[in-house]
Amino acid sequence: MFEDLEVTLEKVAADKLKKKPSPDKLGFGVHFTDYMFLMKWSRELGWHEAKICAKEEFRVDPAAMVFHYGQAIFEGLKAYRGKDDQLFLFRPKDNFERMNNSAVRMCMPRIPVEKIVNVLKSLIYLEREWVPRAEGATLYIRPTMIAVEPTLGVKPSSLYYFYIIMSPVGAYYAEGCNPTKIYVSDQYVRAVKGGVGYVKTAGNYAASLYMMEIAKKEGCTQVLWLDACEHKYVEEVGTSNIFFRIDDQLLTPPLEGSILGGLTRDSVIKLASSWGVDVVERRISIDEVLEANEQGRLQEVFGTGTAAVISPVGELLFKGNSYTINNGQTGGLSARLYTELQAIQNGLQDDPFNWVVRVG
Ligand SMILES: *Cc1c(COP(=O)(O)O)cnc(C)c1O
């Protein structure tokens, strides 16, 4: 039913095009490109009215179900500028397949993955001047789906919007990559097994804000979430997956329903394994982590996600006690993963796993 989805282009008048922000003041998700992609879904028509049009306000009814019952899912990926102005995407198909997994869990319609990857390529090519040239800067891409049927009954909506907006973002580590201080939450939890922790749905982030504010007051940049049942096993750090290097083994919690399966997580597992690193997915308790640290066996800790790629952890705050990791320094494996993944994403290095997709 998707083959006949026609995408129209509504040109933005030349005098309505925005001025590009200065490359040193990009920030994250503050500026947006001129165009977006938008399509609508109804039970009768499926996906229809697909268009690339001005990124501007659209009208939805105040009764739209997304505002009340939170049927909203999203994705996050980036377009990278390599040498000779070539543009690249990193595993875009996997992002849209993950979005379809989210859609199923939230009773929302699936999107046609191949078609949308092609639409995204066209959109980026149209907006190619928006992909920043500054070192480390990228074009962040935010596909989103929301329920827009105007009704108050609790049930899956029968109308949806899917759209893609894009934002030029600065290098994540503008001042170099400094290991972060992380608050280990022993009071609030992010997700439970059987719940929606494994999907990128809006409510997960709303639910995390309160704990994030507490962490910030303690001088921490992120929250390390423990499992919801025993408050014992490590799950995720903020909106990143987490890795521990103990006794030369690279450990990360398994995907058992409460953790979002990050593409960076998957890429790190595959890349490190290909280097001969012993990577193990298993439950890791916070006690095990702290004990290994005490005994000098915890070599490094880092988070993984599209935004930062690799985010080294230099300090944990747990039950009022502070624990320094690797003398607050970035670990060797963290640094290597960061460099090599970035090089692959920017098309500067061999891509043994065929992750990179060229645009235009
Ligand atoms: C998006 C996200 C991640 C990281 O996923 P990537 O695909 O690596 O960007 C990890 N945890 C949560 C909760 C997320 O929302």
C-alpha closest to that of 314 among 157, 191, 177, 126: 177
Structure confidence at residue 1 (pLDDT): 46
| 8 pLDDT higher than 60 | yes
Q: Compute the distance from residue 9 Cα to the ligand 1 centre, in Å.
A: 31
Angle at 347 between CA 344 and CA 353, to 5 degrees: 45
Task: Please compute the mean of the pLDDT values over residues 308-329 and round it to a whole number.
Answer: 96
Task: Please compute the mean of the pLDDT values over residues 336-356 and round it to a whole number.
Answer: 96
* CA distances from residue 315 to 217, 241, 285 in whole angstroms, order as listed: 15, 16, 17
Nearest residue (by CA) to ligand 1, atom 13, is 239
Instruction: Report the atom number in ligand 1 closest to the C-alpha of 190.
Output: 13
* CA distances from residue 298 to 134, 184, 232, 324 in whole angstroms, order as listed: 35, 17, 18, 10
Quick: pLDDT tens for 136-155: 899 999 999 999 999 999 99
CATH number of 180-345: 3.20.10.10
Residue length of the chain: 360
| 279 pLDDT higher than 50 | yes
Q: Which residues contact 349 (CB under 8 A, 6 or more apart)?
A: 340, 343
Counting ligand 1 atoms within 8 A of each CB, the residue from 77, 240, 264 with the most, and so the one to mutate, is 240
Q: Residues of the chain with pLDDT > 70: what percent?
A: 98
**Segments of the chain assigned to CATH 3.20.10.10:** 180-345
Q: Compute the distance from residue 241 Cα to the ligand 1 centre, in Å.
A: 7
Nearest residue (by CA) to ligand 1, atom 14, is 239
Cβ of 261 below 6 Å from ligand 1: no
Structure confidence at residue 172 (pLDDT): 78
Nearest residue (by CA) to ligand 1, atom 2, is 239
DSSP H or E segment with residue 226: strand 222-226
Instruction: Report the atom number in ligand 1 closest to the C-alpha of 77.
Output: 9
Q: Residues of the chain with pLDDT > 90: what percent?
A: 94
Cβ of 168 below 6 Å from ligand 1: no
* Mean pLDDT across the chain: 96
Cβ of 222 below 6 Å from ligand 1: no
Phi/psi of residue 84, nearest 5 degrees: 55, 30
- Maximum Cα–Cα distance across the chain: 64
Structure confidence at residue 171 (pLDDT): 85
Cα end-to-end distance, the chain, whole Å = 26
Pairing of strands 249-252, 278-281: parallel
**Token output for 231:** 């408050």
Cβ of 263 below 6 Å from ligand 1: yes
Q: What is the dihedral of CA 86, 87, 92, 93, to 10 degrees?
A: -50
**Token output for 53:** 């049009």
**252-281 burial by CB neighbour count: b if 16+ within 10 A, else e?**
bbebeebbbebbbbbbbbebbeeeebebee
Quick: pLDDT tens for 159-211: 999 999 999 999 877 656 789 999 999 999 999 999 999 999 999 999 999 99
Which letter does DSSP use for residue 91 in this model? S
CATH of 2-169, picked from 3.40.630.30, 3.30.470.10, 3.30.360.10, 3.20.20.140, is: 3.30.470.10
Instruction: Report the atom number in ligand 1 closest to the C-alpha of 75.
Output: 1
Task: Please compute the mean of the pLDDT values over residues 22-30 and round it to a whole number.
Answer: 91
* CA distances from residue 236 to 100, 254, 283, 343 in whole angstroms, order as listed: 22, 11, 12, 25
Phi/psi of residue 240, nearest 5 degrees: -130, 155
Instruction: Report the atom number in ligand 1 closest to the C-alpha of 98.
Output: 7
C-alpha closest to that of 233 among 314, 302, 287, 193: 287
Counting ligand 1 atoms within 8 A of each CB, the residue from 237, 306, 337 with the most, and so the one to mutate, is 306
**Token output for 42:** 């109804």
Q: Compute the distance from residue 305 Cα to the ligand 1 centre, in Å.
A: 5
pLDDT band at 65 (very low <50, low <70, confident <90, very high): very high
Q: Compute the distance from residue 76 Cα to the ligand 1 centre, in Å.
A: 8
Structure confidence at residue 5 (pLDDT): 86
Q: Contact, 253 vs 233, CB < 8 A? A: yes
**Segments of the chain assigned to CATH 3.30.470.10:** 2-169
Quick: pLDDT tens for 224-233: 999 999 999 9
The rounded distance, in Å, linking the Cα atoms of 227 and 300 is: 21
Quick: pLDDT tens for 73-115: 999 999 999 999 999 999 999 999 999 999 999 999 999 999 9
Q: Contact, 353 vs 266, CB < 8 A? A: no
Token match 């500067």: residue?
Answer: 348
| 2 pLDDT higher than 60 | no
Q: Compute the distance from residue 240 Cα to the ligand 1 centre, in Å.
A: 5
Phi/psi of residue 258, nearest 5 degrees: -105, -5
Counting ligand 1 atoms within 8 A of each CB, the residue from 239, 264, 310 with the most, and so the one to mutate, is 239
| 47 pLDDT higher than 90 | yes
